Structure 1
């Protein structure tokens, strides 16, 4: 028998005000941070190594974590990514939580076991309620009062234990399948990168004679190939600066533009294309042309320098200053240059020629111009590209199917948790009926993965 409550009737919500700083006149303490909860795949906290900071003596005793506490993320960039939770499964000595989290602590009279809380807070109706209640423009936020209104279904203790044990087993099975598939996707990515790197550095002919070059990044290439710096192959064009001043009497038009987020490794993500007011002079100067190779000027190290070819998917489009437009003198080389920017030696080049800061890296136009590219004769280049595309397409198809299968498994996991913690299924008979096995088999067969 399930009864529905408002969560505010089952416990209290609190925030600690404890930050990541350490002061001499405060008490040493470990704290659970936002990412310890947000990135917690299993939804549990016990025995991990947490950051060591200090807390004021007045705050310290009230915010230590105890068995049964639930920590929740009260903010995120989007509404559908808010309210991640993790439950404390054992008393944690000298451990509190940061001010970026909200703690739910059940009343002593509340009959709820931590193992059930772990899954109940993941139920879809809980997440949907939090999404609906969140407010904000640049960042979505929930108040403690918002949390008190969450509808929460609670059965007796014996049923809670039965549900928790069932979901622990079934979610572990699903998570194991997901982890295996994620490893497969990672392996496919490594094979893809290796195929590209090999193709643009030594080609496909394993018996080709290799000769020594003067480039430390391309030390040996086939005898018929030539190594050129990017500045000899293309014009490297800077982009439009955001936030620049435009006179009031100058006419502008709202124009799509490419930014770092759009430029992926070998392809363009056009699912979210921003627009910016652009003058006619700027449009002529920064408009992209068919065959341009877009390369990231800055960002995380894995984004730095990665390139993709512009295929004129949008009729009129410009690029911001953090994205270079490399315009080859001969656009027949565009795809080859793009592939070279995503090869392993390119990662080394961009890293060693970049300016590194705490969280970001950037490469100057001058250093980018020094990037070396090895070119085979035109006929060999075309044949290599054809063979490489066939290989890459097969790897991408397998990877896409596997990714789709992972998403279906995650959806099934969420649906199963919701059904169990809300009494939609009887867990005492559900597993014995073989339904979970059939559902997992159906997902595997449906996705061909």
Structure 2
């Protein structure tokens, strides 16, 4: 896609480290010369919008349909700000993470957001959309954001206005937008296709696990009714125990503390967002708690953490802390398996089964809010064979799903490379390192291409629409 692309004929130093050299004919101006801040309030009947890190500006209805985000439609919306098509909006506390975008929609957004309007009609808003969603701008936004900790960094309008931005002549950004929308569409479709394959492989993996942890390995085994609709028949020699009888001590909630420290010698503070889809810990989300705070919430190797609310409600994580001391946050519930009754890996495997999903669904049907507390987890029915049989089941599962796991890993790596290429291409094009004018002119006529990527549990967009801090609500 980029093999035939060349640099522009001549360059100049932009004077801005985050931009480097830019085409000679591109002015570089402070944002106060390009945008005006808009605070148009008192439009409570307009559609509610959110600025997301992964998808830009979307309606809250769309966001709620795809996640368990809090519905704000019943709030007093008189202070909410009107956004019109072509406006740039950003979340002050998340701009440095990419929560900034051009809007194609009319609606209202949280008072914690900032709305900027282009001064000149000739300017192309989607050029700024692509530019401001690059890691290059994210670092510049971070440089101009202020706060006691990273969780409180805020890019205020007066600081956004002093950031210098390229303002190419209209033909250049129009070509850039056309080229990037087309390129992103192709890349995103390739990623989406790989996601679909991964979903099918995960279904196969789940079916293998479900069969093994609810029926065992003997296809001719005698069965008996479990007495539990979502579980069905189980081997006649197995027992069904409530989770509270499979663990040592009680199910316990984690620390109710802010994730504001990153001292590497303190216990790591485990939160839902720290876990990858495969249960491994993300290196980029490290937070820690002082030892005196963490001491009552330390986890042991083999503990299982259950998510009790949010987009990952009902998800389980197997703790592996052979080399890292760690504690856990209040939105997680800890279960410490009694290894004379159940092997931790076996209990975790059960939480990956279809039966466990049916149990979660049965809980949600009875509740108005998707929340699973310790009392409900304590009553979870767990089919338990002998320890020897559990070990045999685990060995079988490991062998059976190994090829699927390898295939999923390879697909995930391919997706990561595509995302990396997408990011690098965007940065090179919007900062003028590559001239796409001829390439854009040769593209077939198509509709504007929006990103087809959606928020997934494996790529949490936790900062989409955070609760307002009192200080932020003054905006």
**TM-score, normalized by the shorter chain, greater than 0.5:** yes
Matches within 5 A, 1:253-402: 267=279, 269=281, 271=283, 272=286, 274-278=288-292, 292-296=302-306, 298-300=308-310, 302-304=312-314, 306-308=316-318, 310=319, 313-314=322-323, 322-330=332-340, 333-349=343-359, 352=362, 358=369, 360-364=371-375, 367-377=376-386, 379-402=388-411
Number of residue pairs the alignment of both structures matches: 396
Q: Secondary structure at the match of 2:224?
A: strand
Tell me: CA distance 1:328–1:421, structure 2 relative to 1, closer, same or farther (3 Å): same
Tell me: CA distance 1:238–1:203, structure 2 relative to 1, closer, same or farther (3 Å): closer
Q: Return 5+ residue gaps in structure 2 as ranges.
A: 1-24, 64-72, 258-264, 444-475
What's the counterpart of residue 416 of structure 1?
425
Q: Secondary structure at the match of 1:342?
A: coil
Matches within 5 A, 1:86-101: 86-88=102-104, 92=106, 95-101=107-113
Q: Return 5+ residue gaps in structure 1 as ranges.
A: 19-25, 245-252, 435-449
How far off its partner does 1:143 sit?
A: 0.9
What's the counterpart of residue 229 of structure 2?
216
Tell me: CA distance 1:201–1:420, structure 2 relative to 1, closer, same or farther (3 Å): same
What's the counterpart of residue 121 of structure 1?
132
Counterpart CA distance in 1 for 2:348 and 2:48 is: 43
Tell me: CA distance 1:236–1:349, structure 2 relative to 1, closer, same or farther (3 Å): farther
Tell me: CA distance 1:424–1:325, structure 2 relative to 1, closer, same or farther (3 Å): same
Q: Secondary structure at the match of 2:337?
A: strand
- Determine which of 404, 417, 442 is the counterpart of 2:413: 404
Counterpart CA distance in 2 for 1:49 and 1:260 is: 23
Range moving further from structure 2, 311-320 or 124-133? 311-320
Q: Secondary structure at the match of 2:248?
A: strand
Instruction: Please state if 1:84 is matched with 2:100.
Output: yes
How far off its partner does 1:216 sit?
A: 3.5
How far off its partner does 1:70 sit?
A: 1.9
Tell me: CA distance 1:80–1:395, structure 2 relative to 1, closer, same or farther (3 Å): farther
Counterpart CA distance in 2 for 1:11 and 1:262 is: 37
8 Å CA contact retained: 1:229, 1:372: yes
Counterpart CA distance in 1 for 2:169 and 2:46 is: 34
How far off its partner does 1:154 sit?
A: 2.5
Q: Secondary structure at the match of 2:182?
A: helix
8 Å CA contact retained: 1:30, 1:53: no
Instruction: Please state if 1:10 is matched with 2:25.
Output: no
Tell me: CA distance 1:424–1:15, structure 2 relative to 1, closer, same or farther (3 Å): same
Tell me: CA distance 1:27–1:162, structure 2 relative to 1, closer, same or farther (3 Å): closer
Counterpart CA distance in 1 for 2:350 and 2:84 is: 54
How far off its partner does 1:81 sit?
A: 0.9
How far off its partner does 1:206 sit?
A: 4.0
How far off its partner does 1:66 sit?
A: 4.3
- Determine which of 46, 61, 73 is the counterpart of 2:91: 73
Counterpart CA distance in 1 for 2:97 and 2:173 is: 27
8 Å CA contact retained: 2:251, 2:374: no
Counterpart CA distance in 2 for 1:32 and 1:323 is: 33
Counterpart CA distance in 1 for 2:129 and 2:267 is: 47
8 Å CA contact retained: 1:286, 1:319: yes
8 Å CA contact retained: 2:210, 2:353: yes
Counterpart CA distance in 2 for 1:317 and 1:64 is: 44
8 Å CA contact retained: 1:6, 1:149: yes
What's the counterpart of residue 443 of structure 1?
none
More strand by share: 1
How far off its partner does 1:187 sit?
A: 2.8
Tell me: CA distance 1:235–1:142, structure 2 relative to 1, closer, same or farther (3 Å): same
- Determine which of 119, 138, 154 is the counterpart of 2:167: 154
Q: Secondary structure at the match of 2:228?
A: coil
Q: Under a length normalisation based on structure 1, what TM-score does the superposition of the two structures give?
A: 0.72
RMSD over aligned CA atoms reads: 4.1
8 Å CA contact retained: 1:116, 1:164: yes
More RCO (CA 8 Å, sep 6+): 2
Counterpart CA distance in 2 for 1:125 and 1:320 is: 32
8 Å CA contact retained: 2:179, 2:439: no
8 Å CA contact retained: 1:263, 1:296: no
Q: Under a length normalisation based on structure 2, what TM-score does the superposition of the two structures give?
A: 0.68
How far off its partner does 1:332 sit?
A: 6.7
Tell me: CA distance 1:413–1:228, structure 2 relative to 1, closer, same or farther (3 Å): same
Counterpart CA distance in 2 for 1:69 and 1:315 is: 46
Tell me: CA distance 1:311–1:169, structure 2 relative to 1, closer, same or farther (3 Å): closer
Tell me: CA distance 1:392–1:54, structure 2 relative to 1, closer, same or farther (3 Å): same
How far off its partner does 1:268 sit?
A: 5.6
What's the counterpart of residue 112 of structure 1?
123
